[in-house]
Amino acid sequence: MKISLNGMRFYAYHGFYEVEQKVGGWYSVDVTAEPTIKEAGKDDELSQTINYEIIYNTVKTEMSKKSKLIEHVALRTLHALEQTLPTATALTVRIHKLNPPLGGEVKEAVVEIQNY
């Protein structure tokens, strides 16, 4: 079983260039987690699965911390999720930097990290 929270949007101040850290930009974050409990829906209890609210709040906290590289944000977020989701056996974090300032039209730059 996999649980995903996709398209979490945040305005954040990540970027190598000073202007990116001052002006900021939009980011989208996807997280996929695999709970250790394979029959999470059987008992209809939140304690038997992964709480979406914990995922969202953890990502929100990490996105609010300025970083030069989204690779750093992704790794930091993965480590924070490992701490807050002890029932997850596998985690994937994807950070989409929307409309990166590259001098041309680019929809997004994406970094993905997994712990398995």
Active-site annotation, residues: 97
CA 59 vs. chain centroid, Å, equals: 5
- CA–CA dist 80, 105 (Å, integer): 33
Residues 14/73, Cβ–Cβ less than 8 Å: yes
Distance CA 15, CA 17 (A): 6
What is the C-alpha to C-alpha distance for residues 45 and 93, in angstroms, rounded to an integer?
Answer: 25
- At 71, is the secondary structure helix, strand, or coil? helix
Cα 42 to Cα 33, 39, 48: the distances in Å are: 18, 5, 9
